[in-house]
Amino acid sequence: MLQAKSLNGKIVTLATMTSVDIAELKKQQASFFCPACNQQVIMKAGTRMIAHFAHRSTVNCPSYEGGEGGYHAKGKLLLYQWLVYQNINVQLEAYIPSIDQRPDLLLTINKKRIAIEYQCARISIEQVTQRNKGYRRANITPIWILGENRLNRQTNNHIKIDQFTRQFIHQFSTTSPPALYYFCPQTLQFITIQDIHLTQASQAIGKFDIKSLNQIHLLHLFKQQRFTAFELYQLWKSEKRKFRLKPLHPYGKELSWHQWLYGKGTHLEYLPSIVHLPVSSQYLMKTSTWDWQSRLVIDLLAPLPIGGQISIKSCESFLRKQILSTHHVPLIHAPENPIIEYLRLLANLNIIKQESPHSFTKINPIKFHKNIEEALKADEEMISLLTVNTSDKMQA
Ligand SMILES: [Zn+2]
């Protein structure tokens, strides 16, 4: 933390003091206390770090951030200075009595309050949930910016997203794309990843935008950036190819899925091309796209005769055990429904047709492939069709 209380109760911010003054405090052996838990804290000041305070041990403190290292302190201070420079009303480590919380930064814009949490250490999911609940109670919008040390980028468009990271996906309105934010206090890079689509349990594709902090305004966080239909489906084309050509020795959840397929008299190579399609609200599913989509296709859609009807309700109740409750994604406002998203894609591919807000009619048969060559070719054709149909729709 950047601030602590002195013996007489005054708030002290080491980072804004000169090194001479800090040396003087050290000489006096001045005592400082955590504003949240009142325990004595220690000064951390050296030539190569932002001067800050730290608890003596992993203590029972409501504002303990875990780690509390120089990396976090520096990032927080830089973000604070960045906002001050934009003339934004911002408070550092402000205490909010009604919820007993102390966000890293508290912003007030047109009477609306935003709490920025700069999170570099791994804290428990319960802690994150508690803080978000508190902010909601106090009518404060939380924004979580993660330390760049937490970013696991794999290629230009691929990242690893574990369960911990998943809860930091923001979506400010129904029309904005899912987004993650990262900041590196060493390089000053502010990284925004938007239009996130999970490809596997803990893998995703997303559109990266990297800016230097001093090039951007706070509003940059709300600037929407998406893949074009072409970009998204090109990326998904390679996903599908990888999926078809997977090694033959799966384990865990994947193994039981292969066994389930076998029980249904089919195999990964023969699966219809419509299994494993991108849906942006996949963050609400407990299982991978290939898992739940294949169950929907094999058990519900394939047996349905042409002209037969299928309701959204029946699909939801069929998959109810695979859907997460929305409190797992606390920063997403009005999450989309992954099942409806998927059904719309199938309608786009002329497999089904939406007849009413609640139901679809099957209009074309679902094709199982005979061999891997045929499957790969059909996958590519389907991706092309999806690209064309989606682009048409976007233009319309
Ligand atoms: Zn404390």
Q: What is the pLDDT of residues 303-359, one digit of tens each?
A: 999 999 999 999 999 999 999 988 888 899 888 899 999 999 999 999 999 999 999
For ligand 1, the distance from its centroid to the CA atom of residue 59, given in whole angstroms, is 7
For ligand 1, the distance from its centroid to the CA atom of residue 39, given in whole angstroms, is 6
Mean pLDDT confidence for 258-286: 95
Q: Is the pLDDT of residue 361 over 70?
A: yes
For ligand 1, the distance from its centroid to the CA atom of residue 379, given in whole angstroms, is 56
For ligand 1, the distance from its centroid to the CA atom of residue 142, given in whole angstroms, is 21
For ligand 1, the distance from its centroid to the CA atom of residue 18, given in whole angstroms, is 25
Mean pLDDT confidence for 173-188: 93
Domain 65-227, CATH class in plain words: alpha beta
- Asked whether the beta carbons of 352 and 217 are under 8 A apart, the reply is no
For ligand 1, the distance from its centroid to the CA atom of residue 93, given in whole angstroms, is 12
Q: Is the pLDDT of residue 145 over 50?
A: yes
Angle, alpha carbons 107-326-315 (nearest 5°): 150
Show Cβ contacts of residue 65 under 8 Å, excluding neighbours closer than 6 positions: 1, 72, 119, 120, 121, 123
- Separation between Cα atoms, residue 181 and residue 284, nearest integer Å: 19
For ligand 1, the distance from its centroid to the CA atom of residue 20, given in whole angstroms, is 27
Q: Largest Cα–Cα distance of the chain, in whole Å?
A: 85
- Nearest alpha carbon to residue 285 among 202, 383, 173: 202
Residue 110 has φ and ψ, to the nearest 5°, of: 50, 50
Q: Is the pLDDT of residue 395 over 60?
A: no
Q: What is the pLDDT of residues 234-259, one digit of tens each?
A: 999 999 999 999 766 777 888 899 99
pLDDT band at 173 (very low <50, low <70, confident <90, very high): confident
- Asked whether the beta carbons of 134 and 181 are under 8 A apart, the reply is no
For ligand 1, the distance from its centroid to the CA atom of residue 273, given in whole angstroms, is 55
Q: What is the pLDDT of residues 53-94, one digit of tens each?
A: 888 876 677 666 665 577 888 999 999 999 999 999 999 999
**Predicted local distance difference test score (pLDDT) of residue 46:** 79
Q: What is the pLDDT of residues 108-132, one digit of tens each?
A: 999 999 999 999 988 888 889 999 9
Helices 338-348, 372-395: crossing angle, 10 deg rounding: 100
Instruction: Annotate 360-389 with b (16+ C-beta within 10 A) or e (fewer).
Output: bbbeeebbbbeeeeebbeebeebbeebbeb
- Nearest alpha carbon to residue 346 among 307, 390, 314, 303: 390
Mean pLDDT confidence for 153-166: 93
Tokens of 262: 């076998």
Q: Is the pLDDT of residue 392 over 70?
A: no
Mean pLDDT confidence for 5-34: 89
For ligand 1, the distance from its centroid to the CA atom of residue 5, given in whole angstroms, is 11
Q: Where are the domains of the chain?
A: 65-227, 230-395
- Separation between Cα atoms, residue 264 and residue 94, nearest integer Å: 58
